[in-house]
Structure 1
Amino acid sequence: MQYLEGRKYVVQGIFLVVALIFLTRLFFMQVLDGTYKLAADKNTLQRIVQTPYRGLIYDRKDQLLVQNTPVYDLMVVPREVKDLDSARFCELLQIPIEELRTGLLAAKKYSRNKASPLVQNLTTPDLAIISDQLADFPGFRVQARMARAYRTPNLAHALGYVGAITPAFLEKPKYAKYRPGENVGISGLEAYYEETLMGRRGVQYKMVNVRGIEKGKFRDGEFDTLSVAGQDLHLSIDAELQAYGEKLLAGRRGSIVAIDPKTGEILAFVSVPNYDPQLLTGKGSGNRYMALLNNKERPLFNRPLMATYPPGSVFKLVNELVALQLGVVKPYTAFECNQKLVRCTHRHEPPNNVSVAIKQSCNPYFYQVMRAAVVRGQSRNRFEDARLGLGQWQKMVKSFGLGEKLGVDMAQEKRGLIPSPDYYDKRLGHHRWNYKTVYSLSIGQGEIGITGLQMANVLATIANRGWYYTPHFVRSIGNGGPLPQFRERHYTAIDTTLFKYIIPGMMQVVDGNGGTGNLASLSQFGISVAGKTGTVQNPHGYDHATFAAFAPANDPKIAIAVFIENSGFGGTSAAPAAGLLIEKYLRGKVAPHRKTWEDWVMYGNFTKKLH
């Protein structure tokens, strides 16, 4: 036992000696020898995050639409700011003292030890002015990054924009890897494909002295990682067609959506009023955004995706197909133009088949078509009978992609509304409504609401005789192809053999004698157009005008929906606009003698009768 006791003291003694050696060495290094203190004071380890090169965006013909341009941010680390001469600093940066104070408070709130942006989007000339004097202001340094530059003044609502990430974004798990001052897609394709476009960040560790001068890599870059550039987006948009559509509708309110029926690719996506996407880049973009936001014309409002309207007479095509599927009408079914049922806005002979009815857009005819589909004597109670019939009708109509989000590759898409029996029960009461209550649905009026994108997709579906691909903007990502969800066919509840019965009538709308859409005719160029006009009742002013079509009728390459607010009859305003756009896409140009119609679409008074 005495031996073990002595051994314990020996071990304790060894530990004590080692501890004294370390303490002595530490005292010498920190107190007597100033070499290490001087090195620590002179050199600081900087962790520099390398933002990757954001992916570029091209149109379907590989025309560059969105690129990157270098800008510089002035960063601040609050803990390192010493004896700041605020007046001199503000004079150097050309900023008001209030902006400096607000920026420093925000930086301290974020972190006293981490860098955050104080002044963003400095240009190269700005940097040249401040770089020589910045060393006099400890705690501040310049960080280079790439900002977006838009090479087209068009397509703003589809492209969206990129901006500095906000505190609200930083709170979301999706943006956990972002830091204050970094850019992020805020809207449109820039936001939807943010992860694809952003790429992967890299990190560099460098040694710098107190004046911000770089002293070299930390441990020869052992801990550095390389950034990975974002992937490019190749869009289906035809930039020339897009620019032409925006030109035609400049000064109006409305939308144009054009789709390639065979692929679901969106060819044009026009929303007016609009804005130049370059406005939301660079210094002062925040002020310009607020000006757009407060503009009473609502240029930021994405009409093709977010504005829902009754489709008007275009919807008669869907109602006819539903009735044909249910077997309650035949292609040769005749109905009297009985204006005691509903007013008819066109003078014509009684339609003796569906083609004539579509050509004439006879309201009483389609009133009776939908009544045949909804009121089928399934119950002895007329209220319950209407309820059962409308439920089946709604299910078949929704198979066209209506009343639901189509799944386009962009956020903020609205569902629209295809009213159900439950909707009317809630609004009017159970067994307190019947077909006479909801008959306006037969002519595309009443509670129904669809978007411009949905209307174009309905025409693409008819062009394909009963199926569609989900409409989408991106043809390929990098060197790959479109996303898998855009290669899946969606079929309607209508037998594909029935679509052939409505297309002849649609062709007569445009090229038939007395058709309601003659101003969209391209027969002089050997192009057959199948379409349908619509005039949407508006209780707040002049009616809205719409026209939807596809061409060539027998081998469709484009389906289009034009919606112009407060423009009266669809055949007068929307139809010529659609005809010009179809001509532009299929022929690559618009004939010089057609300038008269261009001027009419751009400057004409649509609320007056066209002679």
Structure 2
Amino acid sequence: MRKLLLTSIIISTSLIYIGRLSYLQLIDSSSKNPLDDTAIKAVYDYPERGHILDRNGKLIVSNQPSYDVMVIPREVKPLDTLEFCQLLNISKEDFIKEYEKARIYSPRLPSVFVPQLSKEEYALLQEKMRKYEGFYIQKRSLRHYETRSAANVLGYISEVNERDLRKYSYYQSGEIIGRQGVEKEYEEVLRGRKGVKFIQKDRFNREIGSYKNGIFDTLPIPGKDVQLTIDIDLQEYGEKLMTNKRGGIVALEPKTGEILALVSAPSYDPALLVGRKRSKNYTKLHYDSISKPLFDRGLLAMYPPGSPFKTLNALVALQEGVITPQTTYRCSGAYYYGKRGRKMGCHCGGGIRNLNSGIYKSCNTYFATVYRNSLEKYPTAEEGLNTWAKHMKSFGLGDYLGYDLPTGRSGKIPTSKTYDATYGKNRWYSTATLSNAIGQGEVLTTPIQLANITAAISNRGFYYTPHIIKKIGEEPIEDEKYTKKKQTSVNPEYFEPVIQGMFDVYKKGTAKWISVKDINIAGKTGTAENFTKINGETVQLTDHSIFVAFAPVDNPKIALAVFVENGHWGSTWAGRIAGLMIEKYIKEEITEKAMEQFVLSGSLEEEYAKPYSGKPFKINE
């Protein structure tokens, strides 16, 4: 009896499973994609894109309504093409082009036919759409900017292209996606998730109601607001200061690594890349190969760092024990080296230099000697240079840093391999690399890297990975990537004498004429040589103006780097801009009116327009 009962249970269970599987495969279609059925139409409901706010909660980017004319090619019936084109303000050729594009994409799925109608165009067209079968209007949101600044930070949105459609299964033709900046980096957060309703059609292609009572329908999920670390008032002020100049400003909060300002000049109004004129405006910006407004100089431009790099060479020498703050060297107005008596000029005025005066006088002779001592401490130049390079890389140089923006360059810190490729292995000495001592030669940095090393100095030996995001929705960013300290290879005690030297740059050094009242600033001027290739010849152009600074010295709230291309002396343009940015952030007002007027009224456009007419400059002659 028990054996019979057990057999019955097994048979019954098996029959239930077989029956259910047969039903699912032969009758029920719930496991299938409804769009596989040509009698099903999908209507998408697009959520509003998340807003973008600055660090103080000030709205930067919101949304405005837009209307797209959609087409389902197989549902299009004969129509008065001329009248339709006049309503849409397009040519017949445009009509044919867009229709064929939509048909090739999919005859039965909707595609954008004419994007981004204005309210007036929508009102005019809405009443007449019933005449044009296969076409309908779909509401969409476009970006609305509350600022004319920060285009390089914010990025923009545009329609997906064929490459996007192949890469991302989420998108349909005609949908929008973030490009560049925050819009691209935080696309999934900002876009939300679209909803969909499936509509059943009969054999005459008429809509007869919801498919399967809406069991497959989904509601849209709104995009989340994001709060940035940017201070939009500081950003706008920085862009104002950089009017008629080319270069970049990167300002960080040293205690967190938050990016306070990321200025690239020249820039553009982000509103230019909104609406039906977006494509035309983008093309104009893209092909401006002179000003390069789409080129983010703060993240992508690689410059020789010049004299600010001397502070790092001082720190390495202290860590390596080859100098103390009291170690002195005599400067005779130049540094001579090598068997052929090569010369590195110096503008410090000559005399006895220690670490402090070497920094605030920016003595090339002092730092050339310090750099050589750091390398020649080791048995071979190769070992010495590689040790030096490891120190430099601990400050984030020669690397992308890992910030949360979708573009960047790594800069360059040379190693023994760099010189092996030029001279051959074991066929070069420390003197072949001497330009590295003063931030020239093979060393290249981006403005954000230089701002980051300034933050590391202000923190006495550590930094946080720079980042642009502060909150997603209501949740503060707690990613360890941005909250974990990154220690440099230099001990904390060696930073104080270097910081004192940078403080004295303002008190009695190269920036003493541009100090800011009531703010203790530590800084370093830089004048970096600027070379380019013209007709195959290496020629020297006007030097770049560079300045790094942080303030207040004892409790740093801001650290920044300023690059002004072809701006000559570091104190002329970059130093003044740095001081004004610091005062704007700390005091929230400007008292140095004369300095502000000098910068705002100044222009380097004539400098950039100059044709080069000098003789070719032969490096190392």
TM-score (norm 1): 0.87
- Which residue of structure 2 aligns with residue 36 of structure 1? none
- Which residue of structure 1 aligns with residue 264 of structure 2? 271
In structure 1, what is the Cα distance between the partners aligned to 2:72 and 2:324? 77
Structure 1 residues 519 and 179, CA gap change in structure 2 (3 angstroms) = farther
Cα drift, residue 537 of structure 1: 0.3
Secondary structure at the counterpart of residue 240 of structure 2 = helix
Provide, for residues 66-124 of structure 1, a one-character-per-residue CA deviation record: whole Å limited to 9, x for no partner.
11111111111111112233222211211011111111111111011111111000122
Cα drift, residue 343 of structure 1: 3.7
Structure 1 residues 57 and 246, CA gap change in structure 2 (3 angstroms) = same
Structure 1 residues 276 and 191, CA gap change in structure 2 (3 angstroms) = same
Secondary structure at the counterpart of residue 509 of structure 1 = helix
- Which residue of structure 2 aligns with residue 588 of structure 1? 588
Which of 497, 502, 506 lines up with 1:506 in the alignment?
502
In structure 1, what is the Cα distance between the partners aligned to 2:346 and 2:203? 81
Match of 2:408, as an amino acid? E
Cα drift, residue 351 of structure 1: 3.8
Match of 2:187, as an amino acid? E
Q: Indicate whether 1:119 and 2:117 are aligned.
A: no
Tell me if structure 2 keeps the 8 A contact 1:256–1:268.
yes
Secondary structure at the counterpart of residue 577 of structure 1 = helix
Match of 1:440, as an amino acid? S
Cα drift, residue 595 of structure 1: 2.5
- Which residue of structure 1 aligns with residue 221 of structure 2? 228
Tell me if structure 2 keeps the 8 A contact 1:562–1:578.
yes
- Which residue of structure 2 aligns with residue 319 of structure 1? 313
Which is worse superposed, 202-211 or 277-286?
A: 202-211
Cα drift, residue 198 of structure 1: 1.4
Match of 1:596, as an amino acid? A
Provide, for residues 8-56 of structure 1, a one-character-per-residue CA deviation record: whole Å limited to 9, x for no partner.
xxxxxxxxxxxxxxxxxxxxxxxxxxxxxxxxxxx97531122222111
Which of 160, 163, 167 lines up with 1:168 in the alignment?
163
Structure 1 residues 347 and 404, CA gap change in structure 2 (3 angstroms) = closer
Tell me if structure 2 keeps the 8 A contact 1:141–1:212.
no
- Which residue of structure 1 aligns with residue 565 of structure 2? 565
- Which residue of structure 2 aligns with residue 188 of structure 1? 181
Structure 1 residues 582 and 471, CA gap change in structure 2 (3 angstroms) = same
Match of 1:558, as an amino acid? I
Tell me if structure 2 keeps the 8 A contact 1:135–1:212.
no
Tell me if structure 1 keeps the 8 A contact 2:160–2:176.
yes
- Which residue of structure 2 aligns with residue 361 of structure 1? 362
Which is worse superposed, 125-134 or 397-406?
A: 125-134
Cα drift, residue 142 of structure 1: 1.0
More strand, by proportion: 2
Cα drift, residue 276 of structure 1: 0.4
- Which residue of structure 1 aligns with residue 390 of structure 2? 395
- Which residue of structure 2 aligns with residue 333 of structure 1? 327
Tell me if structure 2 keeps the 8 A contact 1:138–1:211.
no
Match of 1:585, as an amino acid? Y
Which of 434, 438, 445 lines up with 1:443 in the alignment?
438
In structure 1, what is the Cα distance between the partners aligned to 2:197 and 2:64? 22
The within-5 A match list for 1:99-248 is 99-172=94-167, 175-206=168-199, 217-218=210-211, 220-248=213-241
In structure 2, what is the Cα distance between the partners aligned to 1:438 and 1:552? 35
In structure 2, what is the Cα distance between the partners aligned to 1:210 and 1:127? 32
Tell me if structure 1 keeps the 8 A contact 2:254–2:559.
yes
Secondary structure at the counterpart of residue 502 of structure 1 = helix
Provide, for residues 245-285 of structure 1, a one-character-per-residue CA deviation record: whole Å limited to 9, x for no partner.
10011110000011000011111111000000110011120
Secondary structure at the counterpart of residue 54 of structure 1 = coil
- Which residue of structure 2 aligns with residue 7 of structure 1? none
Tell me if structure 2 keeps the 8 A contact 1:520–1:578.
no
Structure 1 residues 210 and 354, CA gap change in structure 2 (3 angstroms) = farther
Tell me if structure 1 keeps the 8 A contact 2:413–2:443.
yes
Which of 268, 276, 286 lines up with 1:293 in the alignment?
286
Provide, for residues 359-407 of structure 1, a one-character-per-residue CA deviation record: whole Å limited to 9, x for no partner.
100001000000000112x43xxxxx11110011001110000000111
Q: Indicate whether 1:482 and 2:482 are aligned.
A: no
Q: Percent identity?
A: 42
Tell me if structure 2 keeps the 8 A contact 1:519–1:572.
no
- Which residue of structure 2 aligns with residue 529 of structure 1? 521
Q: Indicate whether 1:50 and 2:45 are aligned.
A: yes
Match of 1:408, as an amino acid? Y
Which of 289, 297, 307 lines up with 2:301 in the alignment?
307
- Structure 2: stretches of 5+ with no match in the other structure: 1-37, 337-342, 532-539, 608-621
Secondary structure at the counterpart of residue 475 of structure 2 = coil
- Which residue of structure 2 aligns with residue 371 of structure 1? 372
Cα drift, residue 433 of structure 1: 2.0
Provide, for residues 124-181 of structure 1, a one-character-per-residue CA deviation record: whole Å limited to 9, x for no partner.
2111111122211111111111111111100000001111111111121xx2110111
Provide, for residues 564-584 of structure 1, a one-character-per-residue CA deviation record: whole Å limited to 9, x for no partner.
000100011111111111001
Aligned length in residues: 552
Which is worse superposed, 347-356 or 556-565?
A: 347-356
In structure 2, what is the Cα distance between the partners aligned to 1:582 and 1:160? 26
- Which residue of structure 2 aligns with residue 22 of structure 1? none
- Which residue of structure 2 aligns with residue 604 of structure 1? 602
**Aligned CA-pair RMSD:** 2.0
Cα drift, residue 59 of structure 1: 0.4
Cα drift, residue 192 of structure 1: 0.4
- Which residue of structure 1 aligns with residue 493 of structure 2? 497
Q: Which has the larger radius of gyration?
A: 1
Cα drift, residue 347 of structure 1: 3.9
Cα drift, residue 344 of structure 1: 4.0
Cα drift, residue 211 of structure 1: 12
Tell me if structure 1 keeps the 8 A contact 2:346–2:365.
no
Provide, for residues 409-441 of structure 1, a one-character-per-residue CA deviation record: whole Å limited to 9, x for no partner.
101111000011111112332223221211000
In structure 2, what is the Cα distance between the partners aligned to 1:396 and 1:516? 27
- Which residue of structure 2 aligns with residue 37 of structure 1? none
Match of 1:371, as an amino acid? R
Match of 1:581, as an amino acid? M
In structure 2, what is the Cα distance between the partners aligned to 1:483 and 1:414? 26
- Which residue of structure 2 aligns with residue 89 of structure 1? 84
Tell me if structure 1 keeps the 8 A contact 2:348–2:362.
no
Structure 1 residues 465 and 340, CA gap change in structure 2 (3 angstroms) = closer
In structure 1, what is the Cα distance between the partners aligned to 2:513 and 2:599? 11
Cα drift, residue 491 of structure 1: 0.5
Tell me if structure 1 keeps the 8 A contact 2:263–2:298.
yes
In structure 2, what is the Cα distance between the partners aligned to 1:564 and 1:325? 32
Cα drift, residue 352 of structure 1: 3.5
Cα drift, residue 207 of structure 1: 5.9
Secondary structure at the counterpart of residue 542 of structure 1 = strand
Tell me if structure 2 keeps the 8 A contact 1:266–1:472.
yes
In structure 1, what is the Cα distance between the partners aligned to 2:348 and 2:396? 33
Secondary structure at the counterpart of residue 538 of structure 1 = strand
In structure 2, what is the Cα distance between the partners aligned to 1:198 and 1:88? 36
Tell me if structure 1 keeps the 8 A contact 2:195–2:220.
yes
In structure 1, what is the Cα distance between the partners aligned to 2:121 and 2:162? 27
Secondary structure at the counterpart of residue 314 of structure 2 = helix
The within-5 A match list for 1:421-440 is 421-440=416-435
Secondary structure at the counterpart of residue 537 of structure 1 = strand
Q: Indicate whether 1:549 and 2:545 are aligned.
A: no
Cα drift, residue 350 of structure 1: 2.3
Secondary structure at the counterpart of residue 530 of structure 2 = coil
- Which residue of structure 1 aligns with residue 534 of structure 2? none
In structure 1, what is the Cα distance between the partners aligned to 2:561 and 2:438? 17
Which is worse superposed, 77-86 or 137-146?
A: 77-86
Q: Indicate whether 1:417 and 2:412 are aligned.
A: yes
Q: Indicate whether 1:252 and 2:245 are aligned.
A: yes
Structure 1 residues 483 and 294, CA gap change in structure 2 (3 angstroms) = farther
